[in-house]
Structure 1
Amino acid sequence: MTKNTRRWLELRVRCPVAGDDREVLLADGLIHLGACGVEERSGWYVSYFDEPNDPLGFVSASLSVLSNATGLSSIEVEHRWQLHEDWEENWKRGLGPRRVTDRIVVFPSWAPPENLHPKDIGIRLDPGMAFGTAEHGTTRGCLRLLDSVVSVGDRVIDVGSGSGILSIAAARLGAVSVQALEGDRYACEAARDNIIANRVGAQVTVTEVWATSKSLIDLGPVAGIVANIEAGILEPLHEGFKGALVSGGWLILSGILDHEWVKSRERAESNGLALIALDQDGEWRSGLFRCMT
């Protein structure tokens, strides 16, 4: 399928009763179904899926999976098709250079920054369908924490690398090796293009795979790991995080909502990781931890 003939299934779901605490589980459920990220829009959880062989069957099965995962007996579902080129035009609107830290500036290829300073790290990014732009609080949080912790010579793993923005940032900050792990093939395509555009191909390797604790341990030992994914997906990876890190190594966890933060922090601390810094960006939380053993 060519780029111009690709289309995506947009699935929109919501709980008909506003304020039900279980509705936040819809996002986790969509991710487990294979969504290319989830966005909340006016009470709806909106996600995109690679075109299934049986679209109506997929929508029906998704409703059943979400009902079982959340315990909600009534979930509203809508779906429509999104052409790939329409998606590209949608995310281009309104995007321009964004200074995220004192020295990290993220910009799209069609709007390069005019006044970069010699110390600045400019990251050119064209995400396409991949998650990961400086317009999202979790990405900004990870970039700020990376800027504070990456040391020259670090070996790093980026779990759920999406557009590759965090892998690129780690490499530009001095990491000599970054393993970018991403299960979505279109995100991998976007990441590879962005890595080439930012001239860090010698440091960053993209692998199309869904990370597991075992695969993380096999890639270790490393100085640092960044994982900007849903809180529910982070949970089963904690043993892998700990097992892949050197003593004193760092871990950045993100993709965590405010109401999920305490549980996520306690889970990391129970695994021998100490919280060093917390980044708060709107409703999103990103935490920097150190491996103390």
Structure 2
Amino acid sequence: MNWLEVHIDTNHAGLEPVEAMLSSLDVDGVVIDDETEFREFLEDNRQYWDYVDEDLSRRMAGLSRVTFYLQSDEAGFAKLGEVRLALEGLRAQGQDWGSLIMSLDNLADEDWENNWKQYYKPIEIGERLLVVPKWETVDPGERAPLYLDPGLTFGTGDHATTRLCLTALEKEIHGGERVLDLGCGSGILSIAALKLGAASARAVDIDRMCLDVAYENAALNGIGKDVYTVEVGDVLANGDLRASLGGGYGVVLANIVADVIIGLAPLARSFLKEGGLFLCSGIIEGREAEVAERLREAGLTILETREQKGWYAFTCRQGPAEGGN
């Protein structure tokens, strides 16, 4: 019988959430490598050695890891699919739990990716969008196809927060809009806006990896840098970046986490034109009332609230609006 040895890299704080997530998927019997325990072990047993291998110390620096085993068969790969989607949910919470990257031993990367592909299928979003993994050939019908390469880090929009934002987006893009995507990740939201008819989009993320991923996904959809620009930086901390982004956007997107959305709320109006829309998602159940209050304090009118699987999204308007909330 063949087995898959699966690793999830995290940090000390992330060990408990990762273990709980795996347990909820009936994955038990995990092996824990904890950097904190490694350091404590070194300190408590200092009298037994004069030198610790530098390579070992370097590999353990800042890293804790959860390892588990699955049978290398259809059921095992299906379970990997469940774990990967659950990891997207952990990342969306915005906590400092390390990289949360999943990797496999004893299986070539290309074999892992090819086996994984069968668990990524086209996803219908709302009434106008069809999210399609790049290796799938489909007839989108009257829907706008949005082609993505999930890679090993970014998903295809199956998480509830992304679905919520895409559903709001397709309702509000009518053609010709300028769009700003804050915390763009794979670029799925801003690229979707362009596919739906937006005239141009700018995207920003603090993770440099997103620069290449978003541009690659844009290229898959025939979108060039003449209408799509991706930048790296922290909008909350970098005033020069905010100034370079400018204002007058018809739609500003933020699928991040509650705390970041709260921080962005006072800035959203400076990016929007009068009557422009701020679409925000990634708000976990229990934080929605607090976020809504901060959005209103920032002078935004909440037009619509969406909820799915314990996550919330708001569509807000800059300036006065008819109809209230």
TM-score using structure 2 length: 0.65
Shift of 1:169: 0.6
1:210 alignment partner in structure 2: 234
2:279 alignment partner in structure 1: 252
Shift of 1:226: 0.5
1:94 alignment partner in structure 2: 119
SS at 2:286's partner residue?
helix
CA contact (8 A) 1:130 1:186 kept: no
1:82 alignment partner in structure 2: 103
Shift of 1:14: 5.6
Q: Which runs of 5+ in 1 are unaligned?
A: 1-6, 17-25, 28-38, 45-52, 61-75
Q: Which deviates more from structure 2 when the two are superposed, residues 138-147 or residues 232-241?
A: 232-241
Question: 2:305 aligned with 1:282, yes or no?
Answer: no
Separation in 1, partners of 2:148, 2:250: 25
Q: Which amino acid aligns with 1:232?
A: D
Greater C-alpha radius of gyration: 2
Separation in 1, partners of 2:290, 2:155: 24
Specify whether residues 186 and 246 from structure 1 end up closer, same or farther in structure 2 by C-alpha distance, changes over 3 A only: same
2:172 alignment partner in structure 1: 149
CA contact (8 A) 2:11 2:62 kept: no
Q: Which amino acid aligns with 1:227?
A: A
SS at 2:61's partner residue?
helix
Question: 2:226 aligned with 1:196, yes or no?
Answer: no
Separation in 2, partners of 1:217, 1:239: 15
Separation in 2, partners of 1:10, 1:190: 22
CA contact (8 A) 2:134 2:220 kept: no
Separation in 1, partners of 2:149, 2:250: 28
Q: Which deviates more from structure 2 when the two are superposed, residues 82-91 or residues 184-193?
A: 82-91
Q: Which amino acid aligns with 1:112?
A: T
Aligned length: 241
Specify whether residues 106 and 217 from structure 1 end up closer, same or farther in structure 2 by C-alpha distance, changes over 3 A only: same
Separation in 1, partners of 2:151, 2:101: 19
Separation in 2, partners of 1:90, 1:234: 37
CA contact (8 A) 1:129 1:187 kept: no
1:57 alignment partner in structure 2: 61
Shift of 1:54: 4.0
Shift of 1:59: 3.9
Specify whether residues 12 and 230 from structure 1 end up closer, same or farther in structure 2 by C-alpha distance, changes over 3 A only: farther
Specify whether residues 218 and 99 from structure 1 end up closer, same or farther in structure 2 by C-alpha distance, changes over 3 A only: same
SS at 1:287's partner residue?
strand
Shift of 1:110: 1.7
Question: 2:168 aligned with 1:168, yes or no?
Answer: no
Write the mapping of 1:1-293 to structure 2, written as runs, cut at 5 A.
Answer: 9-11=9-11, 13=13, 40-42=21-23, 54-59=58-63, 82=103, 85=109, 88=113, 92-113=117-138, 115-117=139-141, 119-201=142-224, 202-212=226-236, 214=239, 215-216=241-242, 218-219=244-245, 220-292=247-319
Shift of 1:223: 1.1
CA contact (8 A) 2:277 2:318 kept: yes
TM-score using structure 1 length: 0.72
Separation in 2, partners of 1:80, 1:104: 28
RMSD (Å) for aligned C-alpha atoms: 3.2
CA contact (8 A) 1:162 1:182 kept: yes
Q: Which runs of 5+ in 2 are unaligned?
A: 1-6, 26-56, 65-96, 321-325
SS at 1:243's partner residue?
helix
Shift of 1:164: 1.0
Specify whether residues 85 and 221 from structure 1 end up closer, same or farther in structure 2 by C-alpha distance, changes over 3 A only: farther
Deviations 1:152-191 (A, max 9, x none): 1111110111111111111111211111112222222211
Q: Which deviates more from structure 2 when the two are superposed, residues 125-134 or residues 252-261?
A: 125-134
